[in-house]
Amino acid sequence: MSERKEDAAGIGGWRLMHTYTDLPPLFYTDVAPTPVREPRLVAFNRPLAAELGLEPAALERGDGPAIFAGNALPDGARPIAQAYAGHQYGHFTALGDGRAILLGEQVAPGGARFDIQLKGSGQTRFSRRGDGRAALGPMLREYLISEAMYALGIPTTRSLAVTTTGEAVYREQPQQGAVLTRVAASHIRVGTVQWAAAHEDRAAVRALADYTLARHYPDLARVPEPYLALFEAILARQASLVARWQLVGFVHGVMNTDNMALSGETIDYGPCAFMDAYDPATVFSSIDAHGRYAYGNQPGIAHWNLARLAEAMLPLFDADGDRAVARATAVLDRFPALFEERWLDGMRAKLGLVTEEPGDRQLADDLLAWMLRRSADFTNTFRALAAGVRPAQSASPDPELDAWHDRLDLRRARDGRSPAEARALMRRHNPAFIPRNHKVEAALAAAGDRDDWSELTRLLDVVTAPYDHDRDLPEFSAPGEPDPRYRTFCGT
């Protein structure tokens, strides 16, 4: 990987480098953001800016808003749109950044490298029939949910800024245009590998694999079979990531292969939302008519997407086609067990357990089955457990849950932890606050329709401290009125 060495930071603290452009030209195209009428910075993530080595105060004034809207380029930027393909709802398509532009890779003070990408920044070669733009609501949703996920400790891209553009975008109705500044470990997707493979360009597939190894899995570059090891490591990160989603009730909503990052970060917040009442069939996305990306399907879809990745990488595994398939399959077949292991580890922590017993899966399943029967709130059921509230003592006693709790108590006794230790463990693994759909909608409406940012600010404050169980904020912890018709939109 070539790089400029320790250049002095530019105005605002920008220290942008460019390694992605060392890849073959197949993978990107040079394109500048399209300026907008009237940039206005409406959300800015100061702590993240500081972590990136940027100067928050300088960026909130001066050139900052213009940079985050695409009207000015930061020092050292080389704007590009990345090319990729992807299976969308099972169908293979050529895609690419149709409304996003990568400015470069910011090198943070600790040396870590982060893609700085504008989303909604105008048309590119990959826009197809799209306008290259984004509406304010979906960009604020991404900002809010990605920062909530980060605070939950789940690997994710992050959000540095949202600007409004002073221009309308036309979806069902005219909406305010906006640009989101996204920060990511990288934007290499399953679909990026598929793009190279679809061009039957083995050298490009290999170059991308080498790049991914160097950037995200440097320890594997020197093992005997680095490409198989790379596939295995990506698979392990995905198993762990989707387990984390399941454990907090996060529904991504559009797990197309172009929305799965090889870094293992959650990426592309579109119609995502958190589940209230536990139900594996939970779907929010307005376009997911058949529930392909329902909550309970997410592990299986991740597995399916990884099979598509394996296909794209096949020539790297073995020169002989049959042997390559056999090797890929052997790795792929490990996914279900690996997911199960990650999920069960997390579930034990949610139940305050440290040791492992064969009956743990059943114990967890029986609680989930109870939640499903009672339409119990996923987050608040665990929160009550973490608070040590016996169902029998609660406002609405439930003998069934009480019997389950007796089993948990027996299991806890064998675990050997003190009640205080168990509770501390549970408080670290069960969020007290998630972004509740009704609060998200209300905050986005207040900001978008009335230019009132107070609700969004308050919601961000709550969901970025999700494990603060000492805060008693019923307004933020109560689920909204159950609404089976509640739908989220990609906003594309």
Catalytic residue among 97, 258, 268, 279: 258
268 binds Mg ion per the rule CB under 5 A: yes
Q: How far is the CB of 191 from ligand AMP (least distance, A)?
A: 9
Decide if 193 contacts 206 (C-beta within 8 A).
no
Counting every residue written for the chain, the total comes to 492
41, 45, 74, 97: which one binds ligand AMP (CB under 6 A): 97
133, 237, 327, 342: which one binds ligand AMP (CB under 6 A): 133
Decide if 254 contacts 271 (C-beta within 8 A).
yes
Q: Which is nearer to Mg ion, 105 or 268 (CB)?
A: 268
* Position closest to ligand AMP via CB: 130
259 binds ligand AMP per the rule CB under 6 A: yes
Is 451 an annotated catalytic residue? no
447-476 residues in contact with ligand AMP (CB under 6 A) are none
Q: Residue 42 touches which of ligand AMP, Mg ion, none (CB < 5 to 8 A by kind)? A: none
Q: How far is the CB of 171 from ligand AMP (least distance, A)?
A: 9
Q: How far is the CB of 315 from ligand AMP (least distance, A)?
A: 25
Q: How far is the CB of 282 from ligand AMP (least distance, A)?
A: 20
Q: Residue 99 touches which of ligand AMP, Mg ion, none (CB < 5 to 8 A by kind)? A: ligand AMP
Cβ partners under 8 Å of residue 72, min gap 6 = 63, 66
327 binds ligand AMP per the rule CB under 6 A: no
* Binding piece for Mg ion, criterion CB under 5 A, among 111-119, 236-244, 266-274, 301-309: 266-274
Q: How far is the CB of 464 from Mg ion (least distance, A)?
A: 24
Mask for 212-251, x = binds Mg ion (CB under 5 A): ----------------------------------------
Number of residues that bind ligand AMP (CB under 6 A): 19
Q: Which is nearer to ligand AMP, 15 or 99 (CB)?
A: 99
Q: How far is the CB of 139 from ligand AMP (least distance, A)?
A: 12
Q: How far is the CB of 191 from Mg ion (least distance, A)?
A: 8
105, 147, 232, 268: which one binds ligand AMP (CB under 6 A): 268
259 binds Mg ion per the rule CB under 5 A: yes
* CA–CA separation, 468 and 453 (whole Å): 23
95 binds ligand AMP per the rule CB under 6 A: yes
132 binds ligand AMP per the rule CB under 6 A: yes
Residues forming the active site: 258
Task: Tell me which residues touch Mg ion (CB under 5 A).
Answer: 258-259, 268
Task: Tell me which residues touch ligand AMP (CB under 6 A).
Answer: 95-100, 126-127, 130-133, 254, 258-259, 268, 270, 490, 492
